[in-house]
Structure 1
Amino acid sequence: MTRSGLRDIKREATAQALAEAAFDLARARGLDGFVIDDVAERAGYSRRTFANHYSCKEAAIAWVAYSGIEAAGDALEDVSGDVPLLDAILAVLQLQLTTETLSRMREVIRLSREFPSLEPYVHHVQHRMRLEAEQRLRTVAADRYPTTYVSLLFGALYGMVSSALEGLVDVRLPGDTSSSNGSMEFDQFLEVAFQHLRTGF
């Protein structure tokens, strides 16, 4: 691996550690219960290092929701081109959208509702996630599918996952005790949603 490659990996690891620290502090103390110095100290870095990665603690917290997207994109690109696109996406979502990833995304959304100053940063990260994920999907689809099909499929998928994370449909994550008895497990929700995608609404 090149020196620049190692530098990028180290930079990403530092950014992730700072984001994790900010997220943990926000959950424990609320957004008003800590400052940037607390984040840097918890992660084992300086305030200057924090400033090299994030403009504020809100930006760091929001970034936690982004973790895992890169791995999902890599996994999708590794799926054989012989597999139908919809089947490939379902397999990757089931594999990559782990309980931890989903729980963090849902918790970041909850925090943004409780603390309005966080909301624009969450929207920014969601927008970046959407653009990157759609571009990855276009790369995987290549010339096998029309551009319109890929765009519409991605829009449906993004809306579907967002509705579960934002609580618009009653989906229970493993270990979630706050949902009602009538809620669906996330894997069951994926199966139902993809069945609609295959057969129509």
Structure 2
Amino acid sequence: MMMKQSLRDIKREATASALAEAAFALARERGLGGFVVEDVVQRAGYSRRTFANHYACKEEAVAMAALTFGDVDEAEVLNIPPSTAPLDALYRWMRMQFTAGLLWKMRELMSLAKEHPTLEPYMLSVLHRLQTGAQEALSELFKDRYPEGYYHILIGAVFGAVVPILDGSLPVSLPGHAAAEASEATPFDQYLDTVFGYLRHGF
């Protein structure tokens, strides 16, 4: 059962978010090799010791900026009819979690990771956390009505379809794209509907 966060946990998350946002902003401005941890803590207004309490290195902080938009409200996911199919619940979770802000930030981070391979392990960690969030939401909603492996298959298939649009492998336009830039690309919402359509009806 989900527990309400304490004030201490909320403050800790706010600090981690501020440090991650500062690191991400510096990475965008200067490139990953153009700043050090000291620059991050100065911009965020915290000490180096505080940074060390949250992150092992600047790469981890940069990657974790993808999660500072706030996790999806699991309570909202859970507030759906119990007869809802797991695939429909996952669709709802994806639409709430993958906001325009998160998608754009993930794409920028993927681009940075191509230039700086030291960032890649931390990007994989971020993706894993997002997948774990989906897993926990479905498990909480459906309890043991379905085999545990069933959720892993669904979530793995959906995330496997999302990664290529984040790394630029597929021509899918993210929300907020100018019409001229997106004219040859499939809109993200349409692409997501196509993915779930395949999962519902087959290929």
The TM-score range, normalised by the shorter chain, is 0.7 to 0.9
C-alpha distance in 1, partners of 2:107/2:80?
27
Quick one: structure 1 residues 131 and 90, their matched pair in 2 at CA, closer, same or farther if it must change by over 3 Å?
closer
Trace 1:1-201 onto structure 2 (pairs within 5 A): 5-68=6-69, 70-71=71-72, 73-176=74-177, 181-201=183-203
Q: Which amino acid aligns with 1:192?
A: T
Percentage identity across paired residues of the two chains: 47
Query: Could you tell me whether the CA contact under 8 Å between 1:72 and 1:93 is conserved in 2?
Result: no
C-alpha distance in 2, partners of 1:120/1:45?
25
Higher mean alpha-carbon deviation, 162-171 vs 23-32, is at 162-171
Higher mean alpha-carbon deviation, 85-94 vs 35-44, is at 85-94
Q: Which amino acid aligns with 1:181?
A: S
Q: Which amino acid aligns with 2:15?
A: T
Q: CA deviation at 1:10?
A: 0.1
Structure 1, unpaired ranges of 5+? none
Quick one: structure 1 residues 41 and 127, their matched pair in 2 at CA, closer, same or farther if it must change by over 3 Å?
same
Quick one: structure 1 residues 75 and 166, their matched pair in 2 at CA, closer, same or farther if it must change by over 3 Å?
farther
Q: Which amino acid aligns with 1:187?
A: D
C-alpha distance in 2, partners of 1:130/1:121?
14
C-alpha distance in 2, partners of 1:132/1:95?
12
C-alpha distance in 2, partners of 1:134/1:28?
35
Higher mean alpha-carbon deviation, 41-50 vs 22-31, is at 41-50
Query: Could you tell me whether the CA contact under 8 Å between 2:90 and 2:134 is conserved in 1?
Result: no
Query: Could you tell me whether the CA contact under 8 Å between 1:171 and 1:179 is conserved in 2?
Result: no
Q: Which amino acid aligns with 2:152?
A: S
Q: CA deviation at 1:200?
A: 0.5
Q: CA deviation at 1:33?
A: 1.2
Task: Classify the secondary structure of the residue corresponding to 2:145.
Answer: coil
Q: CA deviation at 1:89?
A: 2.0
Query: Could you tell me whether the CA contact under 8 Å between 1:134 and 1:154 is conserved in 2?
Result: yes
C-alpha distance in 2, partners of 1:167/1:111?
12
C-alpha distance in 2, partners of 1:71/1:90?
13
Structure 2, unpaired ranges of 5+? none
C-alpha distance in 2, partners of 1:183/1:135?
33
C-alpha distance in 1, partners of 2:50/2:182?
43
TM-score (structure 1 length as normaliser): 0.88
- The CA RMSD measured in Å over matched residues stands at 2.2
TM-score (structure 2 length as normaliser): 0.87
How many residues align? The count is 198
Query: Could you tell me whether the CA contact under 8 Å between 1:69 and 1:133 is conserved in 2?
Result: no
